[in-house]
């Protein structure tokens, strides 16, 4: 079985290009990014899969009145295996992010450009490489007439780029028996060009908005006002002290410590000769799982009280996003071992290892429900950038790793 699949997959360059061209042409932007959602892309994908002979997808549509069709589509496609009680799932997402400044692109971000082994276009890596790799394996199963040891499942989800409320989070809560406790889960949505990062854990994530309110006045009479910018600057300089409050390190992660970074700053006044009465900044916190995010917000607010007392301002807070880390996938879980074995077999010289990351992935929604999941892919690592690109050879190589996992399931 495995040799036949690997041989068939090795000859799929043209299919990789064709699928990427079709998918790139449909900008599946969610409403938070100013788009109509994933419906058009999901419909085109359904047609492509039907033309290749795949089983009819099961749709799990999450209601969303902000998009024209009223829902966000999630598609589950299952090729039956010898053991129909278990499924190896490959989970990818349909939505993309906007292209940003188009002047920085080498061409139209929604028109695929082929340059040797590389494909350029918005979404080609994030997450169409995973979409295509999973389809390649399914197509190879159909072409060779292979019945895998367990079911082979492809799950194409919505809304990964803006929180997954209408994507895997919704599917995991409303799947009605789609998943079982013995299933294997692979999410090819993060990785390194070396293929060696096998993500099994994530830090907790907190995005915190801080609004500093003073009193606006003319800059020539500062005694008539309260300078919110000066107070905000003082507050920002206190944020690094969080490293002393939460000092733990975990070698599974890189960096091994929690991180606390002031990032976005909203505009205040338009002219130079006005002392601002309101300043807003944001803090991005990636916190080791052993710490409670409520303790982090309490520490930030304590610094804020110091600033209020020192500067005479008032400070308000808002949680933009808060995700306490899900339980880690055990490093000796079957899916971890099988993925690492597949990587070693396909990518010569690779030394895969379990790792943790600072960003959240959709795997958290599986791990919170007791499903060990691995996040892995062999990526150029340029998601969200201008001239996003992906490797044809690595798209095929990842499909071959998936074939190894399936054959050994």
DSSP label of 359:
S
Q: Active-site residue 95, yes or no?
A: yes
Provide the pairing of β-strand 71-72 with 62-63: antiparallel
Q: Enter the tokens of residue 204.
A: 């907790």
Question: Is there a contact between 113 and 133 (Cβ–Cβ < 8 Å)?
Answer: no
Q: Enter the tokens of residue 336.
A: 């971890």
Options 160, 169, 196, 380, the catalytic residue: 160
Token look-up 């492509």 returns 48
> Cα dihedral angle (40, 46, 49, 51), rounded to 10 degrees?
-90
Sign of the torsion formed by the C-alpha atoms of 317, 318, 320 and 322: positive
Rounded distance between C-alpha atoms, residue 81 and residue 79, angstroms: 7
Options 38, 40, 64, 95, the catalytic residue: 95
Q: Cα separations (Å) of 131 from 10, 14, 36?
A: 17, 15, 20
Q: Three-class SS of residue 401? A: helix
Q: Enter the tokens of residue 206.
A: 């907190």
DSSP label of 96:
B
Tell which phi-psi region holds residue 117, choosing left (phi > 0), alpha (psi between -120 and 50) or beta.
alpha
Nearest to 302 by CA among 239, 211, 244, 233: 239
Note the helical H segments in 11-74: 13-24, 39-51
Q: Starting at the earlier edge strand, list the strands of the sheet with 353-357.
A: 58-59, 75-79, 150-157, 83-93, 184-187, 373-375, 197-202, 353-357
Q: Active-site residue 11, yes or no?
A: no
Contacts with 118 (C-beta within 8 Å, 6 or more apart), sequence order: 380, 389, 390, 391, 392
Q: Cα separations (Å) of 236 from 22, 166, 207, 337?
A: 46, 34, 14, 43
> Which residue numbers are catalytic?
95, 160
């Amino acid at each position: 079985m495995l040799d036949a699949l690997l041989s068939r997959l090795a000859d799929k360059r043209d299919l990789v290009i064709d699928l990427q061209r079709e998918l790139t042409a449909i900008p599946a932007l969610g409403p938070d990014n100013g788009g109509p959602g994933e419906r058009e892309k999901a419909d085109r994908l359904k047609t492509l899969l039907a033309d290749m002979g795949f089983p009819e997808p099961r749709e799990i549509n999450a209601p969303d009145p902000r998009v024209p069709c009223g829902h966000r589509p999630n598609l589950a496609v299952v090729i039956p295996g010898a053991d129909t009680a278990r499924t190896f799932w490959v989970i990818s997402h349909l939505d993309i992010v906007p292209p940003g400044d188009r002047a920085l692109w080498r061409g139209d971000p929604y028109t695929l450009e082929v340059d040797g082994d590389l494909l350029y276009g918005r979404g080609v890596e994030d997450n169409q490489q995973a979409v295509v790799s999973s389809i390649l394996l399914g197509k190879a199963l159909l072409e060779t007439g292979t019945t895998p040891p367990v079911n082979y499942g492809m799950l194409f989800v919505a809304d990964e780029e803006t929180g997954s409320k209408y994507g895997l989070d919704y599917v995991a809560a409303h799947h009605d028996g789609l998943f079982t406790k013995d299933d294997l889960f692979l999410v090819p949505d993060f990785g390194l060009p070396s293929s060696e990062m096998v993500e099994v854990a994530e830090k907790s994530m907190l995005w915190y908005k801080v609004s500093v309110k003073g009193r606006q006045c003319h800059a020539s009479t500062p005694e008539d006002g309260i300078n919110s910018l000066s107070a905000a600057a003082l507050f920002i300089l206190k944020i690094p002290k969080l490293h002393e409050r939460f000092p733990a390190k975990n070698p599974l992660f890189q960096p091994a410590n929690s991180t606390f970074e002031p990032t976005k700053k909203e505009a205040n006044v338009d002219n130079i000769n006005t002392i601002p009465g309101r300043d807003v900044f944001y803090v991005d916190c990636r916190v080791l799982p052993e710490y409670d995010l409520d303790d982090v917000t309490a520490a930030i607010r304590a610094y804020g009280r110091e600033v209020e007392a020192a500067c005479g301002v008032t400070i308000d807070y808002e949680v933009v996003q808060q995700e306490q880390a899900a339980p880690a996938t055990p490093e000796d879980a079957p899916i971890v071992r099988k993925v690492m074995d597949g990587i070693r077999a396909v990518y010569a010289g690779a030394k895969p290892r379990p790792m943790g990351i600072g960003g959240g992935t959709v795997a958290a929604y599986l791990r919170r429900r007791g499903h060990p999941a691995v996040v892995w892919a062999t990526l150029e690592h340029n998601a969200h950038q201008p001239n996003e690109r992906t490797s044809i050879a690595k798209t095929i190589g990842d499909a071959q790793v998936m074939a190894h996992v399936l054959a050994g399931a």
